[in-house]
Amino acid sequence: MLASLLDHLRRRRRHYATLCALLGLGLITDRPHRASEAQLEDVRARDFLNIQTRNTPTTYYEGRQGPTGFEYELMRRFADYLGVSLNLDADHNIAEALEAVRREGDLGAAALPLDPTRDGLMYSRPIMPLQPLLVYRRGLPPPAEIADLEGLSIGTLSNTGTDRVMHELQAEHPWLSWQEADDIEVSALLGRVSDGTLDAAVVFERQFRLNRLFFPEVEDGFRLGRPLSLAWAFPSERGLGLLREANRFLATLQDSGLLARLETRYLGRDDYLEYVGARTFIGHVHERLPEYDTLFREAARQSGFDWKLLAAVGYQESHWRPQATSPTGVRGLMMLTNATAAEMNVSNRLDPAQSIDGGARYLRSLKDRLPESITGEDRLFMALAAYNVGLGHLYDARRIAEMRGGDPDAWEDVRDALPLLQEREWFSKTRYGYARGGEPVIYVRNIRRYHEILAYVDRSRQQFHRLSARQPLPADDTRFNRVPPSG
């Protein structure tokens, strides 16, 4: 009885500490000040912040220019705020990340829902809302309310907060049943809906928006329950100092408007028309690309480009159709002109191997011929524009950019100048004259988008293989635990 009472008091104290921290209040305590600041002082003494995270699109992943992601951006800025470096441990699911925070981490930033009832943890102030969403496989009758879920096979992820919402709904609807898993990610869950293993799933709305491009067979249904809050988790036994600093940092980001801008940059893009076009692209990734990806990889090794970039160019040119022919006479998978084919020693433009190899070498030659003053991604984007509109017209656009006070070596300024090649006021001042200058702008934008999607798909496949190697998937998918009806 006494042990039970003491445990209850300890829980109440821990929850009170979390509430005070969330409100920015100090906790009245009999602990010495040094003990309450122990974790913060330890971080500063060792000069790095140890963060437990996850490898997901909303959290942290390796991009083309290094680590990126919404929460990674916040972690990096928080480390800078403290004047320390950043050390990430991303080999976790949510349950593992929370346990690692309890044992050894300074904080957990892993798309965690604020849950002050968890033992051994306390949470930062809310970072952004997390709205649970029911999604379903296209072809099923569209569910619009809870009653429509009866008889459906539904899945969700344990420890994410969506499972908590399902339990709350079950209290009102005892017939409700679903399956939970704690060692897969949202993309794998949506994959099970897409392939028919599940009829529906409950995920957070932002997660679905980021993943919907890659699962064209999955549709959004309706919102479930109340929004939760994304927050950072801290060990509750090592003082409030680091938590207080995190709350001050997050409050500053919110007050300055930077937090909202970062949300938009990393999580806010969801153009429906772009999504519809991307659904077609993803279908072709699965249906057409496997026939040619070996050729793209070989051309990439020879030319020094990322194979996914070359594949993106090929898709923009022909939708990976080797017999493609335009009214102007360009032909083949990479849509080479007769002149370009001759320059690249391509004897048969309709042969996929020759077309891909010739297109890759031509793009390399364009990039190499640009002035040395153009560097980095600006150089790549201008080479892509030249592949579409020609090197002469690109140089004309650079000249227009300079006449307008811009930087001829910056793609952003040249991009703005290219459409002016359609206006007599401007093209009359150039060497090569009129061009449909709006086309290369769209051309480069589309290739960048296709490249981004291909990079995500490739990265997701690698992550899936790593997870499968670590925990092989049983034939009956016993990763899921069924939650039966409660009544």
pLDDT tens profile 99-155: 999 988 899 998 899 998 889 999 999 999 999 999 999 999 999 999 999 999 999
Q: How many CB atoms lie within 10 A of CB 279?
A: 16
Nearest-5° Cα angle at 375, 374 to 380: 90
Residue-averaged pLDDT of the chain: 85
| Backbone torsions φ then ψ of 29, nearest 5 degrees | -150, 155
- Phi and psi angles of residue 64, each rounded to the nearest 5 degrees, phi first: -65, -25
How many beta carbons lie within 10 A of that of residue 179, not counting itself? 19
Would you state the pLDDT for residue 275?
54
> 334 and 356 in contact (C-beta within 8 Å)?
yes
Q: 11 pLDDT exceeds 50?
A: no
User: Contact at 8 Å (CB) between 136 and 85?
Assistant: no
> Is 274 assigned a catalytic role?
no
**Mean pLDDT of the region 356-383:** 96
The residue assigned the tokens 């067979």 is 217
- pLDDT for the residue 33: 46
DSSP type of residue 25: P
Q: What is the DSSP letter of 140?
A: B
Residue 47 burial by Cβ neighbours in a 10 Å radius (0-12, 13-18, 19+): exposed
Percent of the residues in the chain that have a pLDDT greater than 90, as a whole number: 60
pLDDT confidence of 461, banded at 50, 70, 90?
low
- Among the listed residues 71, 180, 205, 317, the single catalytic one is 317
pLDDT band for position 94 (cuts 50, 70, 90): confident
pLDDT of residue 182: 82
Q: Which of 16-30, 283-297, 355-369 has the highest mean pLDDT?
A: 355-369
What is the band of 69 on the pLDDT scale with cuts at 50, 70, 90? confident
481, containing H or E segment: strand 481-483
Instruction: Name the pLDDT band for 411 (thresholds 50, 70, 90).
Output: very high
Q: Is 184 helix (H, G, I), strand (E, B) or coil?
A: coil
Q: What mean pLDDT is predicted for residues 304-321? A: 96
Q: Which of the four pLDDT bands, split at 50, 70 and 90, describes residue 321? A: very high
Q: pLDDT class for 56, splitting at 50, 70, 90?
A: confident
pLDDT band at 472 (very low <50, low <70, confident <90, very high): very low
Minimum mean pLDDT range among 179-183, 294-298, 398-402: 179-183
User: Residue 44 pLDDT > 70, yes or no?
Assistant: yes
214-223, 224-233, 374-383 — which is least confidently predicted?
214-223
pLDDT at position 28 is 33
Distance CA 8, CA 313 (A): 63
- 373 has a pLDDT exceeding 80: yes
The 10s digit of each residue's pLDDT in 268-293 is 655 544 555 667 888 888 899 999 99
Distance from C-alpha of 346 to C-alpha of 148, rounded to nearest angstrom: 59
Cβ contact 211:275 at 8 Å:
no
Q: Which of 5-14, 60-69, 221-230, 434-443 has the lowest mean pLDDT?
A: 5-14
Q: Is residue 35 over pLDDT 70?
A: no
Question: Does position 474 have pLDDT exceeding 50, yes or no?
Answer: no
Q: Say how many C-beta atoms besides its own lie within 10 A of residue 372's C-beta.
A: 7
Terminal-residue alpha carbon distance, the chain: 32
Q: What is the pTM of this model?
A: 0.62
Q: Is the pLDDT of residue 25 over 70?
A: no
Q: What is the DSSP string of 304-339?
A: -S-HHHHHHHHHHHHSS-TT-B-TTS-BTTTTB-HH
d(CA 393, CA 377): 19
pLDDT of residue 29: 36
| Residue 66: pLDDT over 90 | no
Please give the Cα distance from 205 to 226 (Å, whole number).
12
Is pLDDT above 90 for 89? Answer: no
Average pLDDT over residues 43-71: 82
